[in-house]
Amino acid sequence: MEKRHPIRKIVQMQKEGIHKGIYSICSSNHYVIQAAMETALAEGDYLLIESTANQVNQFGGYSGMRPRDFKKSIFKIAEKIDFPSSRIILGGDHLGPLVWKDEDEHTAMDNAHELIREYVLAGFTKIHIDTSMRLAGDDKGTRLASAVIAERGTALCNSAVQAFKSLKNSCPQAGPLVYVIGSEVPVPGGSQDAEEKVQVTKARDFLETVEVFSKTFKRYGLEEIWDDVAAIVVQPGVEFGDDVVHGYNREAAKKLCALIKKYPTMVFEGHSTDYQTAFSLRQMVEDGIAILKIGPALTFALREGLFALNIIENELFGHRDKNLSRFIDVLDEAMVKKPENWKKYYHGSEEEIRLSRKYSLFDRCRYYLDSKEVKESIKLMISNLRSVEIPLSLISQFMPLQYRKIRCGDLINDPEEMLKDRIKNCLDDYVYAVSPVSKRKMAY
């Protein structure tokens, strides 16, 4: 009997009226990944980690990694902290012609087919197929037709099916795939237009997506694979921008969420759920939005922790003859030197842009944490702080939640442990949201 994908089990529990979901980590930062693994280890649950098509692809993406490289990096962290690799679910996000949308359909789709193939052969088992974007030859003045989206998406799914057959021949123990589709797919990393009112996916649009995709799957001879489509991406009304968060409105999404109950093999997948409250996230899972994507909020929490440690470092050593990390300044200097990762997102006066570079909810500074000068700055800051025992009074002032945990004996006084714990503060909301047990941990 073939092993069932863990997400299929979650779908089953949802349909049986049992509260259960899963959160998806959309980050490759080693502090974030480690914090997420430690959290999943404590909960005894699976950990879903995803990479996007522009981040990881057959040409390296902006991370410089191909799918097999990303997998290797994740498993290396897992080995370091003894996290079972069998409890890691790897997902590919926005897999399709996104990276090549300025090319003609033939070129863009050829690249997308190879992208899907590499992800599947590398062992990624959650495949989000996104063909919602217009390509160079498409009419820019009209919305891309559902039939076109479904045709391109189904063709890519067929490539995934064929790649999985090849994988099973060489690796019989390879686990099954699940697919995610949908035509109303928010852009990765938050919307630049989030200041505007976010529109919940219309019920008729959702129904049309399911109908057109199911017919196209049948035409391709993929009727059996249709049951492996475990989720549909919709816009449930959540989004974030530079300094705004559109919170979940259960009443506004009521009509849409009622529809998913009619489909026994599917749940909704919610993108851009960053910065939602714990209670909103739990409502989303209750309403059938059982897969919650999170990325920028985690590195935002990491950045907050790094800033706090830098201030503590300055307080401890600022008046001594010691080489300081200057982390906050070094990070901003790196961003100013190479503005391509944030200039489309941050607008306004020079002062407003300066504040956005540091504190925006878009958290575009995450793209600079792996630069040579920033990594060296973080390394120096950690070294400086480990040269002394950080006074509890400073921890209380700048990292109060970590102070409480240290006082309770649940956290050690170490800069890297405090950094990871700051990320876990964010993850706690997602654990609460997806877990069957409704009692929230309120100890801290």
Is residue 180 helix, strand or coil?
Answer: strand
Kindly give the pairing relationship between strand 245-246 and strand 239-240.
antiparallel
pLDDT of residue 321: 74
Residue ranges for the chain with pLDDT beneath 50: 1, 440, 442-444
Whole-number Å distance between alpha carbons of 14 and 21: 8
195-224 pLDDT, tens per residue? Answer: 567 899 999 999 999 999 999 999 999 999
C-alpha torsion 16→20→22→23, nearest 10: 140
- Two tokens at 160? 């995934």
Q: State the burial class of residue 23 (Cβ atoms within 10 Å of its Cβ: 0-12, 13-18, 19+).
A: buried
Q: Do 403 and 392 meet the contact criterion of CB atoms below 8 Å apart?
A: yes
pLDDT of residue 3: 81
- Two tokens at 34? 């480690």
pLDDT of residue 383: 98
Q: Which residue has the tokens 């049986």?
A: 16
Q: What share of the chain is helix, strand, coil (3-state, %, to 5)?
A: 50, 10, 40
Any idea what DSSP says for residue 320?
A: S
Whole-number Å distance between alpha carbons of 25 and 434: 14
* Backbone angle region of 357, left / alpha / beta, with phi > 0 → left and psi within -120 to 50 → alpha: alpha
pLDDT of residue 35: 98
Whole-number Å distance between alpha carbons of 210 and 432: 30
- Two tokens at 367? 């793209």
282-308 pLDDT, tens per residue? Answer: 999 999 999 999 999 999 999 999 999
Taken in order of first residue, the domains within the chain and their CATH numbers are: 6-294 (3.20.20.70), 300-423 (1.10.400.20)
pLDDT of residue 320: 79
Whole-number Å distance between alpha carbons of 7 and 13: 10
In sequence order, the 6+-apart residues with CB closer than 8 A to the CB of 357 are 332, 335, 336, 342, 346, 364, 365
Kindly give the pairing relationship between strand 22-25 and strand 267-270.
unpaired
pLDDT of residue 437: 76
